[in-house]
Amino acid sequence: MGIYDAAGPATHPVFGAYTAYVETDLGPCRQYDIELSQIGLIPANAKSVRFVSTSYSSVAGVSAQLSFSVNGTTIPYAALDVQPTYTQWVANISRYAGSSAQICFTISAQYPYSDPMMGNVELGVGLDDISFSATTVPEPGCVGLVAGGPLPLAGASRRRSRGARF
């Protein structure tokens, strides 16, 4: 887990000055589940939470899974804007508006090979621009909803770090 700025291993953050990155080498650990969470007051007028993710993988076709939850309940989220280096997401959190809650991003990955001698697999997921919004989540016909479970994050074939503004 790291917070990178423009001077770090990243070429630059996606937005703002910092990037929250969860990174692992799946060689020594064959599986990982890491949570990035915070407890706080969700604004009374909040209808949605918006965030940006970016990812990389040292092996094409191997990616981490990202899920989002509030107070332990997995919340589906949808893509608002898909760019070559990042995706902006939105999730409906209106039922938690005005309350103290724990928001949690869980990143999971498993070693993709049955033979442990196949080598290491380096993965990373960046989270950026996490914010509450008074704007509602668009209808499912406008964006593709992710159905509550983990979302595969497409990994780039080269290491690429981009950013998070909290």
Q: Is residue 158 part of a domain?
A: no
Q: Is residue 106 part of a domain?
A: yes
Q: Is residue 164 part of a domain?
A: no
pLDDT of residue 28: 63
**Domain range for 102:** 2-152
pLDDT of residue 59: 84
Q: Tens digit of pLDDT per residue, the chain (166 long)?
A: 777 777 765 555 667 778 788 777 877 677 888 888 999 999 999 999 999 998 888 888 888 899 999 999 999 999 999 998 889 999 999 999 999 999 999 989 888 888 777 778 888 888 989 999 999 887 665 444 444 444 454 433 333 333 333 3
Q: Is residue 27 part of a domain?
A: yes
pLDDT of residue 12: 57
pLDDT of residue 9: 59
Find the CATH number of the domain harbouring 113.
2.60.120.200
Local structure of 96: helix, strand or coil = helix
Q: Is residue 108 part of a domain?
A: yes
Left, alpha or beta for 45 (phi > 0: left; psi -120 to 50: alpha)? alpha
Bridge-based pairing of strands 65-70 and 100-110 is: antiparallel
The DSSP string of 19-53 is EEEEEEETTT-SEEEEEEEEEEEPPTT--EEEEEE
Give the up-direction half-sphere exposure of residue 55: CA atoms within 13 A in the CB hemisphere: 25
pTM: 0.77
Q: How many domains does the chain have?
A: 1
Q: Is residue 13 part of a domain?
A: yes
Q: Is residue 160 part of a domain?
A: no
Q: Is residue 136 part of a domain?
A: yes
